[in-house]
Amino acid sequence: MKLILLRHFKSQWNLENRFTGWTDVPLCKEGVESAPDISKKLANEKIDVVYTSPLIRNRETVSLVLENLGKKDLPVVIDKALNERNYGKLQGLNKDETKKKFGEEQVRLWRRSWDQAPPEGESLKEVFNRVVPFYRKHIEKDLRAGKNVLVVASHNSLRAIIKYVDKISDKDIISAEMESGGMIKYEFDEKLNLKGKTN
């Protein structure tokens, strides 16, 4: 069975280097135009079901991928459990200006560490605690049933899944990153033991 993780294509606020979080921002022109090339990486994959979040950048990415693959009839499960982390008071702020104000290391901890949350936002630990129970209940169930699953989501919801699947420590998760349009493919045996991984 295969699990394919795809981070949404570049959004307007990715382009503007702003913290997005739960703000519902669409894909930018560059993101839309990247769809055919990125979708080609899925052309030879059998996909049975797609999971995504209600955020427009994720739903637009799913629509573009399925359109490019000619698979618009695939079932798509949409759930807010897969939303990006809430960036709290940082949402909408320019990332470089925020680094100047709070210091580069503090902003790195807010963005990448396990348990430090941005002001009035969520830590990765909190994101993990909503994403992984959903993953175990629904996505693992599909994998156990022999289905290949595509998950299209945002950076930190995917980092939570990566932490869980790869068994990354709380300390080392700070180094795990995935660019817009980035993809990871996992292969499992029937007992969900990890057999292989390709980026």
The per-residue pLDDT of the chain, averaged, comes to 97
Of 8, 60, 140, 155, which one is the catalytic site residue?
8
Please say if 120 is a catalytic residue. no
Q: Region 113-122: what's the mean pLDDT?
A: 97
What is the tens place of the pLDDT at every residue in 39-60? 999 999 999 999 999 999 999 9
Of 60, 84, 122, 140, which one is the catalytic site residue?
84
What is the tens place of the pLDDT at every residue in 76-91? 999 999 999 999 999 9
What is the tens place of the pLDDT at every residue in 127-179? 999 999 999 999 999 999 999 999 999 999 999 999 999 999 999 999 999 99
- So what's the pLDDT on residue 199? 87
Please say if 155 is a catalytic residue. no
Banded pLDDT at 107 (limits 50, 70, 90): very high
* Whole-number Å distance between alpha carbons of 193 and 106: 36
H-helix or E-strand containing 164? helix 155-166
> What is the model's pTM?
0.96
What are the structural domains, with CATH classification, of the chain? 2-198 (3.40.50.1240)
